Chain A
Amino acid sequence: MKITLDADKCCAAGQCVLIAPEVFDQRDEDGVVVLLDAEPPAGQHAAVREAAAICPAAVIEVQE
């Protein structure tokens, strides 16, 4: 799995952080998404897919 972000579109809703906190974080200055792990281990894959599906601004792209 490889994750890419289009952070310019991020509206800082923070749902990805709630769902996959080991993969996503928010930067301190404005809450915009930060990728902690672009190629997360298999145990995180379901959570990452869920975060991508829920992201309100369609920021998270997942390639498998």
Chain B
Amino acid sequence: MTDMIDTTVPAAPGPLPVQPPAGCPFDPPAEFGALRTEEPISPISLPDGSRAWLATRYADIRAILGDTRFSSDTTVPGYPLSGMTGGGNTANRGFIRMDPPEHTRLRRMVTREFMVKRVEALRPEIQRLTDELCDAMERRAGEPVDLVEALALPVPSLVISLLLGVPYEDHDVFQRLTGKLLSRTIAEDARESARVELRDYLDALVTAKEKEPGDDILGRLITEQQRTGEITHDDVAAFAALLLVAGHETTANMIGLSALTLMRDPETAEQLRQDPSLIRGAVEELLRFHSIIRNGPRRVATADIEIGGQLIKAGEGVVVAVPSANRDETVFADPDRLDVRRANAQHHVAFGYGIHQCLGQALARVELQVVIATLLRRFPTMRPAVPVEEIPFRTDMAIYGCHSLPVTW
């Protein structure tokens, strides 16, 4: 097939595949399997009619994300912005949409906050929050409980609010706005108004914290970076937006999907109950298996670069299919099977790859380990309260998962 592709992107290719196969909500779009073997770098159409390349093989995806000549700067001409969630381009776009050296400078202002030992020190607090939410669920025994609302969303939301120094009472505001920002199906003007509303909310929050900076991430950014002239008020707000949005939707959806797969796989659930040391590997495997990032990451080539036998020209955009890389049979044997003892599960690219790899990954890992182990231990008979085909899966969102997950026990 590849010899049929001109180096210019051919006319009218299909869109980015997003629908899971019928009846298989845990599998990535079926198109990826064929693309990996037949056309691993293939042209797609973006919603505005522009073109980009779709990468589906593990090795190619690591090559792209590991090469800074593939730029993350959304202002570089040719960057595949169309269909991207999170809002359009702004002056304060956050460091995930930048390249070195500016990306490195800004990212390193917050990397220490999420390093392994800092996050491990939070484990008892994460366990305490999880236990409290589980206590509240227990008091509702006998009625269907939405696991997303009762546990999956509150744990990461509480934790990131605490770390940033954002009042948790505001969670309705930022959860509602984040939901709009990450929707693929929302109208562009509605997304823009959500972005403006979030910007105004964070602007007021940062202004309040400038008067009284607390012992938290935003407080430290203000006292150590803003007051010394390294960054501006707007930069602090951009940090807040990025960390708040990235900090709760991702982990929340991993919790929901993981809980559901384990309810449907009682044998694996029992193994995890019997041997708690399996939980770390199980979380890596769940991250690989579910690969919830479904709309990128994206890059634009700043030079002519050959990837997987295909020339990608300077100025052409690339969309990377994380779920496809993580089901690549040349890397993961029997990739469609959930195997919590898989030796190379941690080779997954669920957190991305390259210098932009998820900043909060150590925190996500601990939250998932604590919440999943606690759920298995405290609610061994938990099951979906509705047939699986009635569970609303997030095929309309940039981050896959369940909109709600009614459970009983």
By secondary structure, the A interface counts as loop
Residue of A nearest to B108 (CB): A30
Query: Considering only CB atoms and an 8 Å cut-off, how many residues of chain A contact the other chain?
Result: 21
A2 interfacial by beta-carbon distance below 8 Å:
no
B277 interfacial by beta-carbon distance below 8 Å:
no
Residue of A19, A31, A56, A58 touching B111 (CB-CB under 8 A): A31
Residue of A nearest to B62 (CB): A56
Q: Are B362 and A11 in contact (CB under 8 A)?
A: no
Q: How far is the CB of B117 from chain A (nearest CB, A)?
A: 7
Given A26-B117, A56-B355, A19 contacting B112 (CB threshold 8 A) = no
A53 interfacial by beta-carbon distance below 8 Å:
yes
Collect the chain A residues with CB atoms within 8 Å of residue B112's CB: 12, 26, 28-31
Q: Are B347 and A12 in contact (CB under 8 A)?
A: no
Q: Are A30 and B111 in contact (CB under 8 A)?
A: yes
Within 8 A of A (CB), among B351-385: 351-359, 361-362, 365
Q: Are A18 and B362 in contact (CB under 8 A)?
A: yes
Question: In the complex, A39 Cα to B396 Cα: how many Å?
Answer: 50
Q: What is the number of contacts between chain A and chain B, taking CB atoms within 8 Å?
A: 67
A44 interfacial by beta-carbon distance below 8 Å:
no
Question: In the complex, A15 Cα to B359 Cα: how many Å?
Answer: 11
Which range contains the number of B residues in contact with the other chain?
20 to 34
Residue of B nearest to A8 (CB): B104
Collect the chain A residues with CB atoms within 8 Å of residue B357's CB: 11, 13, 56-57
Within 8 A of A (CB), among B95-149: 104, 107-108, 111-112, 114-117
Q: Are A54 and B356 in contact (CB under 8 A)?
A: no
Within 8 A of B (CB), among A1-35: 9, 11-15, 17-19, 26, 28-32
Question: In the complex, A59 Cα to B355 Cα: how many Å?
Answer: 10
Question: In the complex, A26 Cα to B108 Cα: how many Å?
Answer: 12
B66 interfacial by beta-carbon distance below 8 Å:
yes
20 contacts between A and B (CB under 8 A): A11-B354, A11-B355, A12-B108, A12-B112, A12-B359, A13-B357, A13-B361, A14-B116, A15-B346, A17-B117, A26-B115, A26-B117, A31-B112, A50-B346, A54-B346, A56-B351, A56-B354, A56-B355, A57-B355, A57-B357
6 pairs of A and B residues whose beta carbons are closest in the complex: A12-B111, A31-B115, A31-B111, A56-B357, A14-B116, A17-B116
